[in-house]
Amino acid sequence: MTNGFTRLTEQFLVHIGVERGLATATVTAYESDIAKYIDWLETRGIHEPDAITKQDVEDYIAALDQAGESARSKARRLASIHEFHRFALGQHAVTADVSAAVKAPKGASTLPDVLTVDEVTRLLDTAAVGGSTDPVVLRDKALLEFMYATGCRVSEATGTNLDDIDLDEHIARLMGKGSKQRLVPLGSYACRAITAYLNAGRGELERRSSAKIPERRALFLNKRGKRISRQSVWEIVKATGERAGITKPLHPHTLRHSFATHLIQGGADVRTVQELLGHASVTTTQIYTHVSPEALIETYLTAHPRAR
């Protein structure tokens, strides 16, 4: 990366990381996307931000297509480029945002993987393994119930502390992207599972720790008494899904997608679901309104005065 881009890129990363407060992983993703974009521009002899044209941006997206990148990946990279160019315009490094008119490739807005209510029930019942009192089983049951009850991200589940849970009030506090907190309800199933885990599971896991100072804060612990990791959550979800006989693609975000979809199907409005998910924009949440056309048709037939 040459000096023409170096200073602007450094300022951009400070802007999104410090001023906007985006999560470290998000900043890292932006940094990677922009670095690859600039490397490609420099192979075309472009070494200054104001030398980039709309055609260059379009050609870069086309190059990603030729490289076999998925529509979703291309859309994410273009989103990073849009942010970078908007920032460059705000810093007066360029006289126009040449990326503004470049649209995401078709097919980028793919519907998320979603479980039916019956499949979620099967998954959560399987996690209990017939009422076992094994601390790991109790933890897995509580973890999965918590994730489906709150629609949390995997990082929010692993980051939840004991003092973030109020079982009397059925409330959980989640720390979302950009260190933004939100309160979400905890249903009765989740509260019962977490109570069972706290009464007969977490203490045993904490005692298994070899550390001089045990983990006192984290809600969910691994088998060695440490705060559970994202990778462990992935493995728990996958293993439980296999035991439950679920053949759909299954990952922690599947529970989040299912949470949102089931709320929309149950009559929740998009703005409420947006708040529960911690989405900055309602546009992100609106994808869930397209998952179940049957529910939309039913609502239309019920509500429209001349539908029947």
Which of 153, 226, 257, 262 is labelled catalytic?
153
Check if 256 is active-site. yes
Check if 290 is active-site. no
First CA to last CA distance, the chain: 63
Check if 253 is active-site. yes
Check if 72 is active-site. no
Which of 177, 182, 230, 251 is labelled catalytic?
177
Which of 47, 82, 86, 253 is labelled catalytic?
253
Helix axes 24-43 and 71-90, enclosed angle (nearest 10): 90
Which of 74, 77, 139, 256 is labelled catalytic?
256
In DSSP notation, 101-147 reads: TPPPPTT-SPPPP---HHHHHHHHHHHHTTT---HHHHHHHHHHHHH
Instruction: Give catalytic residues, as residue numbers.
Output: 153, 177, 253, 256, 279, 288
